[in-house]
Amino acid sequence: MTDTLATTASPWTLGPLRLPHRVIMGSMHTGLETRDDGGVGMAAFYRERASGGAALIITGGIAVSDEARGGADFAVFGRDGADDRFREAVAAVHEEGAHILAQLFHAGRYALVSGLTDRNGDPQRAVAPSALPWAAARGIVPEELTAPEIERTIEDFAAAARTARSIGFDGVEIMASEGYLINQFCSPLTNHRDDAWGGHPVRRRRFAVEVVRAVRTAVPDLAVTIRLSGVDLMPDSSTQDDVDALVADLLPLGIDGISVGVGWHESRTPTVQAAVPHAVWVSYVERIAAVVRASPYPDVRVIASNRMTDLRDAEAVLDRGLVDAVALARPFLADPTIVSRSLRGDLAAVNTCIGCNQACLDRSIIGAPVSCLVNPRAGREAQFPLAPTADPKRVDVVGGGPAGLAAAVDAARRGHRVHLWEASDRLGGQFDLAALIPGKEDYAATVRAARTELLQRGAQITTGRAVSAADLQESDAVVVATGVEPRSVSIPGADLPHVLSYESALRDGVPPGSVAIIGGGGIGVDTAAFLVESPSEEARAAAFARRWDVETFDGVVGEVPQREPVAHRSTREGALVTVLRRSGKFGQGVGITSRWVALGRLRDAGVRFVGGVREYVRIEPGFLEIVDDAGERVQIPADSVVICAGQEARDGLSTDLQTMSIPFALVGGARDASSVDAVRATSEALEAVRRLAP
């Protein structure tokens, strides 16, 4: 254990559970809960994290009834083999000496029920306190629960808790946050009733109170926690005083802990994206902790969550003394061994969550299997076990970007002799560039972690030298992950000295003055952010608080240690930045839960977006001339022009490798540069190295 994590590493109790450290693996919906594999996939997923140090795990939401499901991939106790799958998972966690709680879940009006049926074959209903749909409801208007149905739903929670105990869970967490059913009852925004369950704050809170009372009665010997919304981030929803009052109502009911979430899924305030500063939400957790500490029940545990990515974040929060534990979710996708590595002082080898959401949250909201961009094995542990190879091979990986690093690390972990080649003098590829973007500094941590682990495992790393097929003639397997290079454009004036590629703009900076960015996809948006956003997390946190009218977490944000040194960049106060594209959406390629945040930040900073460009006519000193969507010639101010017009595959090896009959696979951008998709790239790299070097 490193002394810097002394508080995090200290033991504590949660009800009947004795826990060796203060990091919880928080709830994540993975899609494994309903996979028809007898629970093998879910058991392998949880086992790997328990063996990596997760002493307490919270499952993804388990629906308390058929109508509680959020979609087709939500499990329900007693249906479709769910109980047997969870028994496998619980047994796996217990075999590793860890504990696991079942999260009891009801989607309420968030249920996407089109095409779903209940266990009797009837169409699944969506239900809510009031018949009010939400923005993404796809035309579904929930039915208002009747008073008897409310009583039955309360019993559904209690029955689910009893089932959890019979399966072997160590406790339950009641999901009352993020805008789901219990949250909906508490909020005047979604509860328009005027009966015993609404019309007054006390009556709106009654459903939450009765659910907790019923669950606690059902499982008096298990740990019982509740996940509350510290702030809804919804106009006209519950106030901070309402939240405090709800906490006060729940404390006498025998709960062991309160886990604090933030925001509803339909909120227009970003909560978990990379653009959200580290630990920015903890002020809301500490407010709830203050209510608990001042009550007659000061020993109820308070658990913080959201936008903390490693154990240094946890330590900074826990050291303040108000919060008992920290729940991390996506960081356990990125690195199942985050706890064990961190507590033994090997922080440089921790593969940090980068907050991209692309393979996790973005997939979960459309019902696709969850994984992780920086750890493509996540959710596929049973398919790609980490068993040591019986036949060590020489594996050469050409290209040190995210795909190459993923392939090299996986091969090294299984005992192959790995040689990683990178033509430039730095590892990272597109991630090395991304780490220069304000808010994306954590991308450098993936590169750092891979390099650290490869060296620890005896891999050879060669940088600053282009590899030839002759260098690889003794190789048993070659993964070609040479990535992409910026596409050039045929515009008169494109060869002028003030015209830059995005790579040179990010690495070397852009001179003062106006900038026109040709290309409005993800790289164009990132380049604009590089030009207008502050490199200081503390400054960005203050700007975030002002923009979204939220409290800042005084004393932690801005003091969380930088993961990697960041190259100097200068913001351009008042200078005009214009992003242009011919067709398609601005920010295309950015994840669906992050794109709106990225574009909103740029608009707030005064970035101008020009779409529908018919023609780029010419570049001259001081301006870029275009034909706009109305057919008019327009001059765009441009003391500098940055080209972000796509990429081309960089592959100078595959033909020679094929000629020399050297086993190889082409992956990522080197295989297909039509979109720079790091999720695809890392997944292809993992699959390729497993085929070539089992």
pLDDT digits (tens, 9 = 90+) for 16-60: 999 999 999 999 999 999 999 999 999 999 999 999 999 999 999
| The pLDDT value given to residue 557 | 42
SS3 535: coil
**Buried (b) or exposed (e) across 192-209, using 16+ Cβ within 10 A?**
ebeeebbeebebbbbbbb
Torsion of CA 196, 200, 202, 205, to 10 degrees: 80
Which band of pLDDT confidence, cut at 50, 70 and 90, is reported for residue 572? low
Q: What's the average model confidence in pLDDT over 482-509?
A: 94
Which band of pLDDT confidence, cut at 50, 70 and 90, is reported for residue 626? very high
E-state strands within 67-142: 99-105, 127-128
Active site residue 180: yes
Q: Can you name the CATH fold of 3-353?
A: TIM Barrel (3.20.20)
pLDDT digits (tens, 9 = 90+) for 443-480: 999 999 999 999 999 999 999 999 999 999 999 999 99
Q: What is the DSSP annotation of 270-298? A: --SSTTSPTTTTHHHHHHHHHHHHTSS-T
| The pLDDT value given to residue 387 | 94
SS3 395: strand
Domain ranges of the chain: 3-353, 394-485+648-692, 489-547+564-645
Percent of the chain with pLDDT over 90: 86
What does the alpha-carbon distance between residue 542 and residue 87 come to, in Å, rounded to a whole number? Answer: 46
| The pLDDT value given to residue 503 | 93
What does the alpha-carbon distance between residue 607 and residue 170 come to, in Å, rounded to a whole number? Answer: 52
What are the φ and ψ backbone dihedral angles of 327, each rounded to 5 degrees?
Answer: -100, 120
- Measured at the CA of 462, the angle between CA 459 and CA 466, to 5 degrees, comes to 140
> β-strand 257-262 against 301-304: which pairing, if any?
parallel
Catalytic residue, candidates 46, 180, 284, 616:
180
Q: What's the average model confidence in pLDDT over 210-226?
A: 98
Does the reported pTM lie above 0.85?
Answer: yes
Comparing 367 with 13, the larger pLDDT belongs to 13
> β-strand 484-486 against 647-649: which pairing, if any?
antiparallel
Which band of pLDDT confidence, cut at 50, 70 and 90, is reported for residue 536? confident
177: its two tokens: 């946050």
Percent of the chain with pLDDT over 70: 96
What are the φ and ψ backbone dihedral angles of 155, each rounded to 5 degrees?
Answer: -65, -30
Q: What's the average model confidence in pLDDT over 156-183?
A: 98
Contact 408, 488 (CB under 8 A): no
Query: Under CATH, which architecture does the 394-485+648-692 domain have?
Result: 3-Layer(aba) Sandwich (3.40)
E-state strands within 416-561: 417-422, 460-463, 477-480, 484-486, 499-501, 515-518
Name the one residue in this structure whose structure tokens are 């058929």.
66
Contacts of 1 (CB under 8 A, 6+ apart): 9, 343, 344, 345
Comparing 647 with 574, the larger pLDDT belongs to 647
Long-range CB pairs of 487-490 (<8 Å, 24+ gap) are 487/643, 487/645, 487/646, 487/647, 487/648, 488/643, 489/518, 489/616, 489/643, 489/645
Averaged pLDDT score across all residues of the chain: 93
Q: Left if phi > 0, otherwise alpha if psi is -120 to 50, otherwise beta: which for 425?
A: alpha
Nearest to 124 by CA among 182, 183, 71: 71
**Does the domain at residues 489-547+564-645 carry the CATH identifier 3.50.50.60?**
yes
What does the alpha-carbon distance between residue 310 and residue 543 come to, in Å, rounded to a whole number? Answer: 23
| The pLDDT value given to residue 249 | 98
CB atoms within 10 A of CB 135: 8
pLDDT digits (tens, 9 = 90+) for 589-617: 898 999 999 999 999 999 999 999 999 99
Helix, strand, coil percent content, the chain, rounded in steps of 5 = 35, 20, 50
Whether the CA torsion 581, 583, 588, 593 is positive or negative: it is positive
Which band of pLDDT confidence, cut at 50, 70 and 90, is reported for residue 384? very high
pLDDT digits (tens, 9 = 90+) for 352-363: 999 999 999 999
Contact 665, 692 (CB under 8 A): yes
